[in-house]
Amino acid sequence: MSKIDFWDFSAIFYDMAMKANGRAYADMLKFIGGIVPVGATVLEAAAGTGATSIVVSDKASRILCTDISEKMLNMARKKIKKHSVKNIEIVNRSIYDLKEADSSFDIVIAGHVLHLVDEPEKAAAELRRVAKSMVILPMSFTKGLRGVAKVKINIYRLFGFAPRTELAWNEYEGFLLNLGFNGCEIVKIAGRIPMAVAVYKIQ
């Protein structure tokens, strides 16, 4: 199963899988919503079903929500319609080629993706290219899990979930440094599957 096939296949289950991480997932979304400035333009790359875009939509002036999986984006369209959100545009685009001008968005968000792609350095450079002031990088950590969390991740693997790089919490800063994200503020979020949000400010 190719990467796109896996995300198309898992689109219907994606929100359920994320919410299974309980309070950590909610805290992650709340933190991101709290740091996006009022009136900001936002691009979310690898947006999945658009949960983060919806959370920040009440503060952002405009949001471009992108992903390579059309089925993920279809789920996002349904959610956006359900929540009556008017300032989100959805397009199918690769994280390697966002097709926007340099520094064209105040905030760029890319969650749970840089450890999955085959060319993370290329993806990271593209995120920085289109960002004017900040790149926000949420992450879930699948390395060294135990108990129920380990069982769940192993089930995902059976269906094709295959991170290029497995990370634990204490490896995230080094991973980002290698991708050119220097001096990130990283906020840890405890949960069955540990999470964090890294904030990179454009100098």
Contact 54, 83 (CB under 8 A): yes
The answer, yes or no, to whether residue 72 has pLDDT greater than 80, is yes
Per-residue pLDDT tens digits for 160-194: 677 788 899 999 999 999 999 999 999 999 988 89
Selected residue with higher pLDDT from 22 and 88: 88
The answer, yes or no, to whether residue 158 has pLDDT greater than 70, is no
Rounded mean pLDDT of 87-93? 97
**Which of 5-19, 122-136, 144-158 ranks highest by mean pLDDT?**
122-136
Mean pLDDT for all residues in the chain: 90
Per-residue model confidence (pLDDT) at position 1:
46
Please report, rounded to a whole number, the percentage of residues in the chain having pLDDT higher than 70. Answer: 90
The answer, yes or no, to whether residue 148 has pLDDT greater than 80, is no
Per-residue model confidence (pLDDT) at position 97:
97
Rounded mean pLDDT of 121-135? 98
Three-state SS at 67 = strand
Contact 191, 136 (CB under 8 A): no
* Residue 36 main-chain phi, psi, to 5 deg: -80, 120
**Which helix or strand (DSSP H or E) is residue 54 part of?**
helix 51-56
Domains and CATH numbers, the chain: 3-201 (3.40.50.150)
C-alpha of 180 from chain center: 18
Position 146 confidence tier, pLDDT thresholds 50, 70, 90? confident
The owner of tokens 């380990």 is: 150
Position 144 confidence tier, pLDDT thresholds 50, 70, 90? confident
DSSP for 158-202, please give it: HTT---SS---GGGHHHHHHHTT-TT-EEEEE-SSS-EEEEEEE-
The answer, yes or no, to whether residue 68 has pLDDT greater than 90, is yes
